[in-house]
Structure 1
Amino acid sequence: MSLKDLKIKTGVVKRLFKEEKSYHKEVSEQKKRIEKITIGGADKYDIAKQNEVLDESQQMIHEVKNRLREAHKVLQDLVNKQDPSWVGTEELKQAEDILKEVESEL
C-alpha cells in the first residue's frame, strides 16, 4: 500500500464520519418538524409522510455507521501495517487523528 492509499482511506473515514453526523442532525430536525406539524393539527397523511422520512433517516444512520466501522477497521489495519517511509508524514498524522476521533464515537 502506498501513501496515496492511506490518504484515500483516511478521506473515506472522514466522509463517512461527517455523513453520520449529518444524518443525526437530520433526525433531530425531523423530530422537531413532526412535533410542530402534529401540534399544528396537520393532516394525518402529512404526519405519516414525515414519519416515513424520519424512519428512512434513522435507517441510514445504521447503514452509514456499519460502513464507517468497516472503513475504520481497514484504515486501522493500514496504519498498523504502515510502511517505514510513512513515519512523520502528514498523511499518517491525519489518519491517526481521524482514527482517534471516530473511535470515541463508535
Structure 2
Amino acid sequence: MSPTPLQIKVNALKRLIKEEKLYQQEVSEQEQYVNHMKSNNADEYELKKQIQVLEESQRMVPEVTRKIQEHKEALKVFLESYKGDEDTAAARELVV
C-alpha cells in the first residue's frame, strides 16, 4: 500500500526536523574539534579545511529551518482542507 499524501507530508516534515537536529549536533562537534585543533597548533591547511566544514554546516542550519517552516505551513494548509478519514493527530502536533 502506497503512502497517502498526508503520510508523505508528515514524514517529510519529520525528516527535516531530524536533519536540523543532526546539523546542529554536527556544528557543535565541529566547533569543539576546530577549537581543539587551534589549541594544539594544528597544521594551518588542516585547520582551514575543518573551518570550511564548520561554516558549511552552520550555513545548512538556517536553510533546513526555513524548509521546516515551509513544510509546516504547507501541512497546515493541507490539514485545513483535508476531508480524509486518517488520524491527523500526529500531523496537527507537528504544525503547532
Equivalent residue, structure 2, for 1:96: 92
Instruction: Give the TM-score normalised by the residue count of structure 1.
Output: 0.82
Q: Is the 8 A contact 2:34 2:47 kept in 1?
A: yes
After TM superposition, which residue ranges in structure 1, 4 or more long, deviate above 6 angstroms?
Answer: none
Aligned residues: 94
Larger RCO of the pair (alpha carbons < 8 Å, separation 6+): 1
Q: Which runs of 5+ in 1 are unaligned?
A: 101-106
Q: Larger % of helix: which?
A: 1
Distance 1:93 1:75 in 2: 12
Q: Is the 8 A contact 2:16 2:64 kept in 1?
A: yes
Spell out, residue by residue over 1:31-89, the C-alpha distance to the aligned partner (whole angstroms, 9 max, x if none). 00001111111011111111100110011112211211111111011112221x43xx4
Instruction: Give the TM-score normalised by the residue count of structure 2.
Output: 0.90
After superposition, the CA RMSD in angstroms is: 1.4
Equivalent residue, structure 2, for 1:6: 6
Q: Which runs of 5+ in 2 are unaligned?
A: none
- Indicate the percent of aligned positions where both proteins have the same amino acid: 34
Equivalent residue, structure 1, for 2:16: 16
